[in-house]
């Protein structure tokens, strides 16, 4: 049973560019959350998607946007990249009706902005 799959695994972008990260949730899961993890820090909540809509958003600027597709997969888009956007971006999936189980995280996409 495949877990959460994220692509690409690593990415280098130039300041000012735009980037799209992709996530396929664990089979049977319908909810996708995105987190940003800076080096040595805990993950910070970006937003969550359910039923193809953004359900909740953390304290991140509008440069961060996302999408969820009918097959529950999701994309995270970041525009006008800043050096401070360099981080590990984690996708986590869950089943909406079973929130107590905790999320299943992917291995992340390591984004480096130069």
Partner 1 sequence: EDQVTQSPEALRLQEGESSSLNCSYTVSGLRGLFWYRQDPGKGPEFLFTLYSAGEEKEKERLKATLTKKESFLHITAPKPEDSATYLCAAKKPGNQFYFGTGTSLTVIP
By CB under 8 A, the residues from 39 to 58 that bind partner 1 are 40-45, 48, 50, 55-56, 58
Q: How many residues does the chain have?
A: 114
Closest distance between partner 1 and the C-beta of residue 80, in Å? Answer: 25
In the complex, least distance from residue 20 CB atom to partner 1, rounded to whole angstroms: 19
Per CB under 8 A, which region of 12-20, 62-70, 72-80, 96-104 contacts partner 1?
96-104
Say whether residue 8 binds partner 1 (CB under 8 A).
no
Q: Which is nearer to partner 1, 50 or 73 (CB)?
A: 50
Q: What secondary structure does DSSP assign to 21-76, as a single string?
A: EEEEPPTT--EEEEEEE-TTS--EEEEEEETTEEEEE-S--TTEEEEE-TTS-EEE
Q: Binding of partner 1 at residue 108 (CB under 8 A)? A: yes
Q: Is residue 100 classed as helix, strand or coil in its secondary structure?
A: helix
Question: Look-up: residue for tokens 């992709």?
Answer: 22
Q: Does 68 bind partner 1 (CB under 8 A)?
A: no
| Tokens of residue 19, six digits | 């980037």
Q: What's the CA gap between 32 and 22, in Å, rounded?
A: 11
Site residues, partner 1 (CB under 8 A): 4, 31, 33, 35, 40-45, 48, 50, 55-56, 58, 90, 92, 99-108
């Amino acid at each position: 049973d495949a877990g959460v799959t994220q692509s690409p695994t690593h990415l280098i972008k130039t300041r000012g560019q735009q980037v799209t990260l992709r996530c396929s949730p664990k089979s049977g899961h319908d909810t996708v959350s995105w987190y940003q993890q800076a080096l040595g820090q805990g993950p910070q909540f970006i937003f969550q998607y359910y039923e193809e809509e953004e359900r909740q958003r953390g304290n991140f600027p509008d440069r961060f946007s996302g999408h969820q597709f009918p097959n529950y997969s999701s994309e995270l888009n970041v525009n006008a990249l800043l050096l401070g956007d360099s981080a590990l971006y984690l996708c986590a999936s869950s089943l909406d009706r079973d929130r107590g189980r905790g999320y299943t995280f992917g291995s992340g996409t390591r984004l480096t902005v130069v």
